[in-house]
A and B are shown apart, each in its own frame.
Chain A
C-alpha cells in the first residue's frame, strides 16, 4: 500500500481540487482528508457517512470554587496565565499541562479529557473515505491527523487498496508534520507567485527534514511564466521531480462550485490534460 500526501505550504493553490481530480483517476483508492482544521474535500466528494467517532485528546483544567482555599499555588505555577486572579480557568488559554491539578492540595482542580472533534468513515463515489472535523478553537490537530491517516491505512491494508490519497493541511507546523511522516511521497502543489514559491521551499525543507520523498507540480503556471520557470529550475537543482504544470483554468473553480471534480465538470477542459499527465508521472514515481 502506498500513501500519497498532497500538500502546498500555502493554502489556496488548488490542492483540494487536485486531490479530488486524482481520486477519480486513481484505481479504487482510499481517500483521506487530513486538513482537519478546515476540511473541504467532502464538499466535492459528498461522502455517505457510515461511522462517526468521537476524538478525545488533551485535558482542560477547571477549579471548584467551593473546595478552593485561594492559596494561590496554581496561579503561581501556571506558566500560561490561564487562571484569573479570582481562580477561574480560561479554557482557551489552558494548555492542559496538569500542573495545577497535580499541585492543588485541596483537590479543587478537575482535569477532564476534552472532546476535541470527530472523525468519520464514509464511502464516496471513488472509494472509501476517512475524514474529520476538529472542534472550533481546539488543539491537538496533529493527533487527529494521525488518527485519520491510521484509519485510512487500515482500510487500505485490509481490503487490498493500492493507494491512499491524503489531502494534507497547510503550513509547516504540527498538523503537517503529523500528515507527512512515513508517507510514500508528498506532492507539493505550488503556484507561481513569490509567496507560493517561498512557502513551497519551506514545505520542501520540511519533507527533507523528515526524509519523505517530495514531488512538485505548479498550478496556474501561466499566471507568471518567469516565476514558474524559476520554480522548475529550483526543483531541478534540488532533485525534486516536477511532475507537471496546470494552466490557469476557470474550470478548476467552476467544478468546485458545482461540487464536481474537474473531469466530471468538463472532461475537455485544458486543465484535464495536465492533471492526467501529472497522474501518469505520479504513478511512475510513487506506485
Chain B
C-alpha cells in the first residue's frame, strides 16, 4: 500500500506528518518526492548509501551528418532544437526527452545523449527504508525525477510518500496511482483555498483521501465545514503547541519528541487502512 501525504499549501506540516506516520508503521518505506525542497531526511537522519545520478535523454546532433532540413525543429513542441543559419542548436534544459527529433531526422544525424536532472539516494533509519531525490539546481523538470523515485518503491511494501506542494505536474507525478492521500492543511484562508485545489486534484486522480488539520486552533472553522460538506474524513487535529513547533525547528519528528503521540499515529495508520479497504470493497 502506498500512502501519499500532500498539501496544496507548503509549510502546513506535511513532512512532520509523513515522517511520523512512516515511523509508526512496522517496516515501512518513506519516499520523499518533494525533490525541489526535500526535507524528510532532516527529520529521519538516515544513514545514506552513495547517491545515483539520474539523467534524461537529450538529442546529440552529428553536424557532419545533418543536412539542415529542419525536420527536428518541426516536430519539437518545446523549442528545444532549432536550426539557425548553418547549424542546429539544442537547448537541453527545454528538452522533455520525447525522442521525437531522433525518430524524425531523415539523415539519422541525431543520437541520444544524457543530461543530469538530479540525484536519488537510499538510506536506512530506525528500521525504516528511506529514499529521496534532489533536483539539480537550475533544472526545471521535476516530474521525471519523481517518477524515478516512485519506481524505487517495491509494490508489495508499505510506503509513505512525502509529496511536493501545489497542484501541478510534480504533485501529479508523486501521488498518481497511490492508494490514499493524506491532505495536511491549516484552518486559515490560505490553508482552505489551497486545500480546495488539492481536493480537486485528488478527485481528478480518483484517490480516496482524508484530512489532517494542523495548528487546528489558530484560525477559523471553515476548513472543518468544508470537509463536512465534501465528506472528507478528518483523521487528526493537532492544536498549535510551541513545543511541537520548536521540536519541528530542530528537525525532530513528533513521535520521537513526544512519544505519547505514537499511539495517535498508529491509530491514524489503522484508520487509513480501514478507509482504503472500504474504498476497494
B220 / chain A contacts, CB cutoff of 8 Å: 257
- Measured CA separation A257–B220 after assembly (Å): 7
Which chain B residues border A141 with CB–CB below 8 Å?
Answer: 166, 168-169
A273 to chain B, nearest CB (A): 22
B35-43, B60-68, B82-90, B225-233 - interface stretch: B35-43
Say whether B24 faces chain A, with CB atoms less than 8 Å apart.
no
Q: Are B98 and A177 in contact (CB under 8 A)?
A: no
In Å, the complex CA distance between A98 and B104 comes to 11
* Interface residues as binary, B171-213 with A (CB distance below 8 Å gives 1, 0 otherwise): 0100010000000000011100110010011001100000000
Q: Which residues of A contact B249 (CB under 8 A)?
A: 191-194, 196, 223-224, 227
Is A253 in contact with chain B by the CB < 8 A criterion? yes
Query: Is B164 in contact with chain A by the CB < 8 A criterion?
Result: yes
Contacts of A175 on B, CB cut-off 8 Å?
168
When A171-B37, A172-B135, A173-B135 are in contact, do A37 and B166 touch as well, CB less than 8 Å? yes
Is B167 within 8 A of A99, CB to CB?
no
User: Complex Cα distance A256/B194, Å?
Assistant: 14
| Residues on the A chain within 8 Å of B197, using CB | 38, 136
Q: Which of B47-55, B122-130, B139-147, B273-281 contacts A (4 or more CB under 8 A)?
A: B139-147
A205 and B137 within 8 A (CB): yes
A-B contact count (CB 8 A): 179
State whether the Cβ of B138 lies closer than 8 Å to any Cβ in chain A.
yes
Whole-angstrom distance between the alpha carbons of A59 and B169 in the complex? Answer: 14
In the complex, what residues of A have CB within 8 A of residue B246's CB?
A: 223-224
Q: Is the CB of A38 within 8 A of B9?
A: yes
A257 B219 Cβ-Cβ under 8 A: yes
Q: Shortest distance in angstroms between A4's beta carbon and chain B's nearest beta carbon?
A: 20
Quick check: B103 and A103 within 8 Å, CB to CB? yes
Closest Cβ neighbor of A259 among chain B residues? B189
A241 at the interface (CB under 8 A from B): no
Mark interface residues in A236-267 (1 if CB within 8 Å of B CB, else 0). Answer: 00000000000000100100110100000000
Pair A174/B142 contact, Cβ less than 8 Å: yes
Cβ contacts under 8 Å, B268 to chain A: none
Chain A: interface size category: 35 or more
If the complex has contacts A11-B10, A170-B165, A256-B188, are A195 and B103 also in contact, measured as CB distance less than 8 A? no
Contact across chains for B37 and A99 when beta carbons are under 8 A apart:
no
27 A-B interface contacts by CB (under 8 A): A10-B39, A38-B165, A40-B194, A79-B99, A92-B205, A97-B96, A97-B100, A102-B104, A103-B103, A134-B167, A136-B167, A136-B200, A139-B169, A170-B166, A171-B165, A173-B36, A174-B140, A194-B39, A194-B42, A194-B250, A195-B15, A196-B249, A199-B39, A209-B137, A223-B245, A253-B219, A257-B189
Identify the A interface with B (CB < 8 A): 8-13, 16, 37-38, 40, 43, 58-59, 77, 79-80, 92, 95-99, 102-103, 134, 136-139, 141-142, 169-177, 191-196, 198-199, 202, 205-206, 209-210, 223-224, 227, 250, 253, 256-257, 259
Chain B residues in the interface with A (C-beta under 8 A): 8-12, 15, 35-37, 39, 42, 74-75, 77-78, 96-100, 103-104, 135, 137-142, 164-170, 172, 176, 188-190, 193-194, 197, 200-201, 204-205, 218-220, 242, 245-246, 248-251
Given A10-B37, A12-B11, A12-B12, 4 further pairs, Cβ under 8 A: A97-B96, A137-B172, A177-B138, A227-B250
